[in-house]
Structure 1
Amino acid sequence: MSGSPRVLVVGTTSDYIDWIRSAAPGRALFLTDPGIRRRAQEAPPDPSEEVLCDLTATTRVHEALEAHLRDRRMHLSGVACFDCESMALAAGIAAARGLPYPSVEAVGRCRDKYLSKKIWRQEGVRCPRAARVSSPDEAEAFSREAKGPIVLKPATGSGSELVFVCAGPDESRAAFTGIETGLVSRRGNRLYPAGASDAPGIIAEEYVEGEEYSCDVIIEKSGIGIIRLTRKIRSPRDPFGTTRGYVLIDALPPAVRMADLGRQLRDAAWALGVTSGICMADLILRGGDLFFLEMTPRPGGDCLPSLLREAAGIDILMMTLDVAEGRPVGIMQGRPVKPRVGLRLLAGRGGVVREIDWARLAQDPRVRQVNIIRKPADTIRMPPEDYDSWLLGHVIFAPSEDGPELPAQCDDMAGRLTVRMAS
């Protein structure tokens, strides 16, 4: 095949584009929504490296990609995706071009938080019991049947956005209405595609109390390799489900053997039809039992790639490109990792940013990296209105072994960032 080989990176953010271009110049071709490029703080890539197209117009995307490859004398050596809302498009492009990537059907099973749990329960993978609910009455009925706290959330979506824990029927009714309103305001957002009836997709699931973890794994037909394992840091002050930060760890508590974790991750992925590629999984450990919350065929995002690169010397973005091209990827099991925390920096209130000063944060000897993504004149809107703009950036730091407990260290670290809002 003639022409320059490129890994197609579908629909990612401008900071990831800049990271990949810096780490591997000329290796990738980026398929980007014009809105991402307009809002980018980073310098744009050369036009030969990027196809700008409305990613909701599937036919137009395929045409624009074909024209770009032909005119630039390029061919695709693989397909990669880092964003939930673009995975179905990536799967369709890969299928049309005969390139490895999870199927459109497998992506659909992963993206639908009810369907994935239904399949898991049928296949013996432990997960919370869940049901689709289409009205406040159905949400209330699920709550009464559960006889305990439940969680209401969109059937698709990401992170803690529009996710509520409900202590009883009244809270369940109120949360359903809140999610319904939130989904209406997000109409057109590719994270929340409307169904054939144009009704919001909302699910209810039993609340499982326990320690929450996340991991990245490479799925292969012969088994799996665990790339990353992290414990999530929660805050009682933030909306339910908000991850304040991550602690990179070597293993789960002794109640769960790593071999058992690997087997359960393999079974969960295969049940959804994902037999190859990099996956991210969210888990809850209650006692000695693991419950699967979510699995999706992409690596974890947010501050996790920076944490992994700093603490373990692993570039998960480059590894994803390697996997997309079928290159062998070695994972050293049981490798030592540096004690590091990835802390998300969240705004305390909404408004227009007048000043954001991270000098005291950067000067702290524990700090290894600071990444601030907001700037003066940016508007901050708080959840549940907006779950994106209140994220100010992240800091990677080495926790003090002889210092206070980790939540207190996170409070201290976050307090070193000064944000002033316009009155």
Structure 2
Amino acid sequence: MSVEKGRAFALVESNTTGSGRLFASAARARGLRPVVLTADPSRYPYLRRDHIDVRVVRTSEPDEVLAACRTMRDEQGLAGVTSSSEYFIGTATAVAAALSLPSGDPEAIARCRHKHHQRAALTEAGVPVPDFRVATDVDSASLAATDLALPVVVKPSTGSGSVGVRLCRTNSEVARHARALFGTGARTPILVERYVRGPEFSVETFDGNVVAVVGKHVGPHPHFVELGHDVPAPVPPEWAAELRRCALAAGSALGLGWSASHTEIRMSEDGPVIIEVNPRLAGGMIPTLVRHACGVDLVDWVVAKAAALSLPTVDRSASSASIRFLRARTGGVVTSVIGQREAAASQGVESAVVTVAPGDEIQLTRSFRDRLGYVIATTAAGGDSGALADAALAHLRVSVEAGPREPRR
């Protein structure tokens, strides 16, 4: 091991579910001491349970994050800085670069984090993306929709997890959703883009090499909530090859190629079209599926890369892994949770998790936050892990006493 045991490893904020906790565990397994920098430790219950060191920092202020990391470096040594959060990977990258620690290109990360800049760079490089317009107010969003021809997808220019992404079929829907995204007096740009029909996939890359092609299951319109993933994607070899080539072309055009990237693609009638490139590790438990199906621990790889540690030699397995999410269908208060034992005992199931309990309040967001649990199933190569996950998920039942009617959006 090339660093002394106990050297700090800074994690700027965290995912509230899934990989955030795994990042801290991976750092510890590498002989590092994870330190989470956060403005609000109460957002992450695992910090107390796992006895993770915490520094309370206004993480919305990059200079304060830099100062905290500089202090850690000077006091006890700092092996690296990263983040499991889409919203803070840019800050973590810039801080690591400023301290001469291993990092990607901060400018490339910033370009990817703002979808309108990302789309412009991909368009200039000839990488296929949906026709799009940038809107700065409700009127320009409506004009963009008319120009592109309905239906269109209206989304924030930053963000993740399908938050605020909506298919709009009429100009009134465009105006209403744009108004909700802008909020009172806001002028953050939004994207209006032509809707691309076809199945959705993601391609997981590391250091400019494809690790896995993932099949994605997306919920009903007008929202785009992800309901499950399959690794590898059950597609013909020629499709998988096209998806890999498209993802690598996008990463090259954006100046990525250091550590992990997560590229979302739709396969249209004319071929693959980039939906977005995320300059960080995938969410949605995809890294866990990749570990089961391919034998590659992407969380460990990201931590090792950020700390300048060697990556393990991997004898890649050839299995199939799938996840299916249990999602809320109505807001309200949870009254009962049943079926977890039966789901866990189902064929091929690796884990069956429910993340709510009786008494918890649910507020529908039409995003990843509506997930109430999940099932992960595996099988040998060529098997149908998705069918096993579907069968196990059918056992899970969360009863909700409906709350007040949601305001229309």
TM class, shorter-length: 0.7 to 0.9
Q: Aligned ranges for residues 176-255 of structure 1 at < 5 Å? A: 176-181=178-183, 198-219=186-207, 224-236=208-220, 239-249=222-232, 252-255=235-238
Unaligned ranges ≥5, structure 2: 403-409
Match of 2:396?
A: 417
**Which of 386, 390, 410 does residue 370 from structure 2 map onto?**
390
Superposed CA deviations along residues 60-102 of structure 1, whole A, max 9, x for unmatched, are: 322333333434x2232x3332211101211221121112322
**Is 1:70 equivalent to 2:74 in the alignment?**
yes
SS, match of residue 84 in structure 1: coil
**Which of 326, 336, 355 does residue 345 from structure 1 map onto?**
326
Q: 1:246 to 1:381 in 2, by over 3 A?
A: same
CA-CA distance at 1:419 after TM superposition:
1.4
Check conservation: 1:140, 1:173, Cα contact below 8 A.
Answer: yes
**Which of 267, 277, 288 does residue 285 from structure 1 map onto?**
267
Q: 1:300 to 1:332 in 2, by over 3 A?
A: same
Superposed CA deviations along residues 257-286 of structure 1, whole A, max 9, x for unmatched, are: 62x544433331222222422111001111
Check conservation: 1:136, 1:177, Cα contact below 8 A.
Answer: yes
What is the TM-score with the length of structure 2 in the denominator? 0.85
Higher mean displacement: 85-94 or 359-368: 359-368
Quick one: which amino acid aligns to residue 40 of structure 2? G
Superposed CA deviations along residues 315-335 of structure 1, whole A, max 9, x for unmatched, are: 2110111222344546879x5
Distance 1:287 1:2 in 2: 50
Across the aligned residues of Structure 1 and Structure 2, the Cα RMSD in angstroms comes to 3.2
**Is 1:35 equivalent to 2:40 in the alignment?**
yes
Q: Aligned ranges for residues 5-44 of structure 1 at < 5 Å? A: 5-13=7-15, 16-23=19-26, 24-25=28-29, 26-41=31-46, 43-44=48-49
Higher mean displacement: 315-324 or 171-180: 171-180
Match of 2:91?
A: 89
Distance 2:354 2:385 in 1: 25
Match of 2:406?
A: none
Q: Aligned ranges for residues 309-388 of structure 1 at < 5 Å? A: 309-329=291-311, 337-357=318-338, 358-384=340-366, 387=367
Higher mean displacement: 294-303 or 14-23: 14-23
Quick one: which amino acid aligns to residue 243 of structure 1? E
**Which of 56, 64, 79 does residue 60 from structure 1 map onto?**
64
CA-CA distance at 1:150 after TM superposition:
1.0
Unaligned ranges ≥5, structure 1: 185-196
Match of 2:405?
A: none
Check conservation: 1:255, 1:287, Cα contact below 8 A.
Answer: no
SS, match of residue 152 in structure 1: strand
CA-CA distance at 1:45 after TM superposition:
4.6
Quick one: which amino acid aligns to residue 178 of structure 2? F
Match of 2:283?
A: 301
Quick one: percent identity of the two aligned structures? 22
Higher mean displacement: 345-354 or 117-126: 345-354
Distance 1:209 1:371 in 2: 32
Check conservation: 1:245, 1:341, Cα contact below 8 A.
Answer: yes
Match of 2:407?
A: none
Quick one: which amino acid aligns to residue 305 of structure 1? P
Check conservation: 1:232, 1:243, Cα contact below 8 A.
Answer: yes
Check conservation: 1:278, 1:323, Cα contact below 8 A.
Answer: no
Match of 1:194?
A: none
Q: 1:375 to 1:389 in 2, by over 3 A?
A: farther
Higher mean displacement: 59-68 or 279-288: 59-68
Q: 1:41 to 1:254 in 2, by over 3 A?
A: closer
Check conservation: 2:203, 2:243, Cα contact below 8 A.
Answer: no
